[in-house]
Chain A
Amino acid sequence: MDIYLPIAEMSLDVFVLLGIGAAIGFLSGVFGVGGGFLLTPLLIFIGVPPAVAVASSANQLVGASVSGVIAHWRRGNVDFKMGFILLLGGLAGSVLGVWVFTWLKRLGQVELTISLLYVVLLGTLGALMAIESTRALLRQRRPGGFRRKLHQHNWLHGLPLKTRFRRSKLYISALLPIALGLAVGVLSAVLGIGGGFVLVPAMIYLLGMPTAVVPGTSLLQIIFVAANVTFLQAYTNRTVDAVLALVLLAGGVLGAQIGTRFGTRLRGEQLRFLLALLVLAVGAKLAVDLTVRPASLYAVTTGSG
């Protein structure tokens, strides 16, 4: 059954869209990543114009994240204090990011920068996570292994503005989450994504948050970032297809609820290992796309270049 998308100006099978939405929602529920880094390429793959795909994905992310945060919140797995401090940095970062984006555009290689950034980010993060989680999994297999310290103390713990995050069982400087939020804000403005796939590992490894609290807190910040992107895209580019976003959402919210339940059953190490594989796979795909001769050397866009 086909449905006509008024902004994308094309018809697509409603069940294909629902399926994509459900798959992305499931991932977002399990890992706390918005899934934008997978949704946008998938939409482009089935023929949605890239500009509409990016903007409508952001719109879909808003709804999916709201649903995800509610599900995590019911289990007490959202650190609101941490989330809002991250957001503080995130909003400043997205302003900075838009400025960087404009600068790259003037240089004329914004697309290439985006692809390369993705490859480097996904490759590094995926590899680090895969190594760490494999070690953690192996450590558990060995009986009678010694317990590690809760976390290592280093110079980061000497920073001022120390704040207690009760949910995260942390007593760290507020500057850390602000800086992290800032970095993610820049990335999400340049890459047009929520930034969950960067935020989640950073929260685990840099801040040392317990894995259980990470997805809900990450999704909390994604709601606001995605809402900001949706509004700006609708206002400046008129590329938000609300019909497309709602159909994706219908599939997505269901997937997210199932994903959240599935995620709480998995162990932290397993969760991290699976996410690492996913991140590596997407990174590898993008790297291959960059170097393989495209099927057609030409591409057509409406408007002037």
Chain B
Amino acid sequence: MNRVFARRGPRLQGFAVLFCLALALAAGPARGDAVVADLSSHLIAITSGFTGASVVLFGATDGPGDIIAVVRGPEREMTVWRKGKVAGVWVNAEAMTFTNVPSFYAVAASRPLNDALLPGAAALYRIGTANLKLESKPPMTGDRAKRFAQALVEEQQRAGLMVAEIGKITFLGERLFRASIRFPANVPTGTYLVEVFLARDRDVVGGQTTPLRVEKVGIDAEVSDFATREAAAYGAIAVLTAVVAGWLASLPFRGV
């Protein structure tokens, strides 16, 4: 699985971060906020050669403490299917639909989550894949709902879209922190929220939320826009393009 939070970022970004850190240090906590944080970029642009991207999260605190960062993609409705054996054949036997599944979810912390936060605080702020509070449709509770929610998280982890593995947030000195957030190539598009929490004595004492856009740009964006807006025309063009491509391809072989 990809480590979403890698320790080292590109060097150039490092300088930018240090510069911003200095600014943040000068401006942020002086206003009385417990924690200020920002991203090296608020846009992840998906182009033809997209193979994933890294964004550097950096910030400062007003004193010692632990930093926990949560990256949350736009919520989607998802269905979990469970296979069962019927007459010797594996079939989709049961299904459960969840209405509020984050399409991407990752956590990073300066210490292991259990050391940095009390279980109650983690649950309250929905930190960690065990605290997603997935809602099923129709509403259901009990072991069965729990099993399906657990399976959903595991499948999303397998796809690299939920990262339970706690990445590293490093402190530079006592008050400056940074982390490199890695997004895989199959990252869903939409508006993300990056929540940064400051914890002291295993409880949250401050936080800040920063948005992040993941967008298709260039020719790919135009193709997918067109496919959505003008579905019929797109279908016709897809067929015609294939016909022309097939015809063109046979030209060099003429008379063979």
Q: Which residues of A contact B (CB under 8 A)?
A: 1-4, 6-7, 9-11, 47, 59-60, 62-68, 70-71, 74, 109, 111-112, 116, 223, 227, 230-236, 238, 240, 242-243, 245-246, 249-250, 253-254, 256-257, 261, 290-294, 296-305
A298–B154 Cα distance when bound, in Å, is 9
Assess A298 versus B245: contact at CB under 8 Å? Given A6-B224, A304-B137.
no
Q: How far is the CB of A181 from chain B (nearest CB, A)?
A: 20
> Does any Cβ of A come within 8 Å of B18's Cβ?
no
Q: Are B92 and A111 in contact (CB under 8 A)?
A: yes
Assess A67 versus B246: contact at CB under 8 Å? Given A4-B47, A240-B234, A246-B241.
yes
Q: Are B91 and A242 in contact (CB under 8 A)?
A: no
A253–B81 Cα distance when bound, in Å, is 38
User: Which positions 124-140 of chain B face chain A at CB distance < 8 Å?
Assistant: 137
**Subset of 28 A-B contacts with CB under 8 Å:** A2-B51, A2-B185, A6-B224, A7-B224, A11-B49, A60-B242, A111-B91, A116-B89, A227-B239, A230-B242, A231-B235, A240-B238, A242-B227, A242-B234, A245-B238, A246-B241, A253-B249, A290-B89, A297-B83, A297-B84, A298-B82, A298-B155, A299-B80, A301-B79, A302-B76, A302-B79, A303-B78, A304-B137
Interface of A is mostly: helix
Q: Are A3 and B250 in contact (CB under 8 A)?
A: no
Assess A243 versus B246: contact at CB under 8 Å? Given A71-B253, A304-B77, A305-B79.
no
User: In the complex, what residues of B have CB within 8 A of residue A305's CB?
Assistant: 79, 81, 95-97
Name the contact of A11 in the complex, choosing from B50, B77, B80 (C-beta under 8 A): B50
> Does any Cβ of A come within 8 Å of B231's Cβ?
yes
User: In the complex, what residues of B have CB within 8 A of residue A3's CB?
Assistant: 48-49
Q: Contact string, B212-238, partner A, CB cutoff 8 A, digits 1/0? A: 000010001101100110011011111
Q: How far is the CB of A53 from chain B (nearest CB, A)?
A: 15
Q: How far is the CB of B35 from chain A (nearest CB, A)?
A: 33
A2–B158 Cα distance when bound, in Å, is 21
A227–B186 Cα distance when bound, in Å, is 29
Residue picked from B82, B186, B241, B242, most chain A C-beta under 10 Å: B242
